[in-house]
Structure 1
Amino acid sequence: MQFSEKHILWKDIRKCYVRKYNPLVEFGGWGFKGGVFWNVNKGTAYNVKGNIGLQLHLKNGKKFLIGTQKESEIKRVLQTYAHKISNHEN
């Protein structure tokens, strides 16, 4: 599987927040989860380890969950750029 770089503009984000999630229950495990064979209501997940992620809801209806091991750092980034997002949650 070949991955390509993806950029999401701040103006395209409707809502974002850091949350706990269950990789096995919600996404069937770790790794890249999504695509045509996945429940589109769950969105796409990029996760490697752990159970903390950045949840993105885009204005076009797409959802992404990006796993992180650096919860406090991602929260600081969201606080810094909250003004660029229409409905930011802490």
Structure 2
Amino acid sequence: MDWSNISECYIRNYNPISEFGGWGIKSSFRRDTGKAYTIKGSIGLQLKLKNGKKILIGTQKNEEIKRVIETYKHKYTHNDT
């Protein structure tokens, strides 16, 4: 996936049971939630793609992911016009 396909990127808390039916590689039964790749915990990197799809990647390294988002923010917030 190319950075230019991402419209939003942020850390969020999630409920693995109610949103995705547990941990693992899951597609949500709710249309607005998307796909998740998780192992444990309830913190994830939420990607919203320009095509409307959503991907949640679970993480136990909240602070490290925040730094990565800040470092690469310019790659997905550029103006397409």
| TM-score (structure 1 length as normaliser) | 0.80
Q: Which residue of 2 aligns with 1:26?
A: 19
Q: Which residue of 2 aligns with 1:4?
A: none
- Given that 2:12 and 2:43 are in contact with CA atoms closer than 8 Å, whether structure 1 keeps it comes out as yes
Q: Where in structure 1 do 4 or more consecutive aligned residues deviate above 6 Å?
A: none
Q: Could you tell me which runs of 5 or more consecutive residues in structure 1 were left unpaired when the two chains were aligned.
A: 1-7
Q: Which residue of 2 aligns with 1:55?
A: 46
Q: Which residue of 2 aligns with 1:5?
A: none
Q: CA deviation at 1:85?
A: 1.4
Superposition RMSD in Å: 1.5
1:46 aligned to which of 25, 37, 47: 37
- Given that 1:10 and 1:85 are in contact with CA atoms closer than 8 Å, whether structure 2 keeps it comes out as yes
Which amino acid counterpart does residue 45 of structure 1 have in structure 2? A
Q: Percent identity?
A: 59
**Aligned mates of 2:17, 2:27 — CA distance in 1:** 14
Q: Deviations over 1:20-73 (max 9, x none)?
A: 1110111111111118xx333210000000000000000011100000011011
Which amino acid counterpart does residue 19 of structure 1 have in structure 2? R
Q: Deviations over 1:4-23 (max 9, x none)?
A: xxxx2111000010011110
| TM-score (structure 2 length as normaliser) | 0.89
How many equivalent residue pairs?
Answer: 78
